[in-house]
Amino acid sequence: MPNPQVLVPINAPRPRDALGRPLRDLRISVMDRCNFRCPYCMPREQYHESYRFLKSTERLSFEEILRLTRLFVRAGVRKLRLTGGEPLLRHNLPDLIGDLTSIPGVEDVALTTNGVLLARHAAELKAAGLNRITVSLDSLDPEVFARMSGGFGGLEDVLEGIEQARRAGLAPIKLNAVIQRGVNDHTVCDLAGHFRGTGVIVRFIEYMDVGNRNHWEAGRVVPSKELLERIGARWPLAPLERNYRGEVARRYAFTDGGGEVGFISSVTQPFCGDCSRARLSSDGSLYTCLFATHGSSLRDPLRAGASDEELSALIHRLWGARADRYSELRATQRPAGDQHKVEMYYIGG
């Protein structure tokens, strides 16, 4: 466990990592468990009934999340995203959202969910102050959907969740669709067509080699360029400016005014150069890359009585030492420790 050595004054300069990147975004995994078993994330043969997930006492409490988040905001974080596992499995999540949105300096609080429990929670999430929501939906074909959720999902529930989120005013809603060759790539135009003109923005994500358990194969990746051509041949598309520096999706507008779609091309067009994201696992470890091989516990020093200044010093030191650029190196060399990458369900997407 790293020991905080240098104290950081409250108004200290914000840290930059070893490649000059600031810390702007924090993804907080509030729950390592999930009610789906998407084969590309938590294959059911690995995450079976006797799999040992975290005990509730091992997970950060809301109070601990809030304390750490305040320190991350001091270090430059402005945007928060709650994720998992499935974040809507965490009881009383709106209470946490309400408290996070009231931290001075926090400009945006978003949530990523598989949507299956969303219909019943959408209104209270909005009322708590949630700004934005991303729902994961890989296909509208019920059979493909069932296969891609590990047989656990309810497509109708997810669609109802999207509708209730829209009614609650959680707009613009984004959809994440992971595309795998030979699995759901034949359904991308259905997805784009279904949500065209509704204000919902579908983003197609290249299947990534996160973790070690999803049996990733490069041959299953469908390059965004191919999808862009396929969708563009049906409905002409024109590139849009990015909304902000570091935005991961490349945006395209339907030229007939039907809205926009996005492409997240972590495999074929890595975006490490602008990455300002830190990730906090449900048990309070800080990961500085989605493909990291290890994290550093903030929970342990926090529970051992570390002061805010000591925890801030640790955050500054960990971010300052960050040199991760896994996706950029993937193409040219096999990154060291490849076999022990952290699993995505544990740190969140």
Ligand X SMILES: C[S@@+](CC[C@H](N)C(=O)[O-])C[C@H]1O[C@@H](n2cnc3c(N)ncnc32)[C@H](O)[C@@H]1O
Q: Contacts with ligand SF4: how many residues (CB under 6 A)?
A: 12
If we measure between CA atoms, which residue out of 193, 189, 183, 176 comes closest to residue 226?
189
Which of the stretches 18-26, 30-38, 155-163, 269-277 binds ligand SF4 when contact is defined by CB under 6 A? 30-38
Residue 115 interacts with ligand SF4 (CB under 6 A): yes or no: no
Which residue's Cβ has the minimum distance to ligand X? 349
Cβ pair 126, 168 in contact under 8 A? yes
Query: Of 4, 84, 87, 301, which lies in the binding site for ligand SF4, with binding defined by CB under 6 A?
Result: 84
Query: Of 36, 72, 254, 291, which lies in the binding site for ligand SF4, with binding defined by CB under 6 A?
Result: 36
**Tokens 């006797």, residue located:** 50
Which of the stretches 23-31, 34-42, 100-108, 281-289 binds ligand SF4 when contact is defined by CB under 6 A? 34-42
If we measure between CA atoms, which residue out of 169, 178, 195 comes closest to residue 261?
195
Nearer to ligand X, 206 or 310 (CB): 206
Residue 262 interacts with ligand SF4 (CB under 6 A): yes or no: no
Residue 176's binding partner out of ligand X, ligand SF4, none, with CB under 5 to 8 Å set by partner kind: ligand X
Residues in the chain, total: 349
Residue 155's binding partner out of ligand SF4, ligand X, none, with CB under 5 to 8 Å set by partner kind: none
Nearer to ligand X, 41 or 237 (CB): 41
Distance CA 263, CA 96 (A): 31
If we measure between CA atoms, which residue out of 297, 276, 273 comes closest to residue 347?
297
Least CB distance to ligand SF4 at residue 214 (A) = 10
If we measure between CA atoms, which residue out of 26, 104, 105, 98 comes closest to residue 62?
98
Query: Of 15, 76, 85, 161, which lies in the binding site for ligand SF4, with binding defined by CB under 6 A?
Result: 85
Least CB distance to ligand X at residue 320 (A) = 27
Look up residue 86 and give its two tokens: 């499935």
Distance CA 318, CA 327 (A): 20
Residue 345 interacts with ligand SF4 (CB under 6 A): yes or no: yes
Look up residue 4 and give its two tokens: 């905080």
Distance CA 37, CA 85 (A): 10
Which of the stretches 70-78, 80-88, 252-260, 298-306 binds ligand SF4 when contact is defined by CB under 6 A? 80-88
* Beta-sheet pairing, 25-31 with 277-280: parallel
Strand order in the sheet with 201-206: 237-239, 250-254, 260-264, 201-206, 174-179, 132-136, 108-113, 79-84, 25-31, 277-280, 285-287, 296-297
Residue 106's binding partner out of ligand SF4, ligand X, none, with CB under 5 to 8 Å set by partner kind: none
Query: Of 23, 26, 34, 342, which lies in the binding site for ligand SF4, with binding defined by CB under 6 A?
Result: 34
Residue 93's alpha-carbon distances to 124, 129, 137, 150, 296, in angstroms, are 9, 11, 22, 25, 25
Of all helices (H) and strands (E), which one includes residue 133?
A: strand 132-136
Per-residue binder mask for ligand SF4 (CB under 6 A), 207-246, x = binder? ----------------------------------------
Which of the stretches 2-10, 63-71, 82-90, 120-128 binds ligand SF4 when contact is defined by CB under 6 A? 82-90
Look up residue 207 and give its two tokens: 């299947």
Would you tell me which residues interact with ligand SF4 (CB under 6 A)? Answer: 34, 36-38, 41-42, 84-86, 114, 136, 345
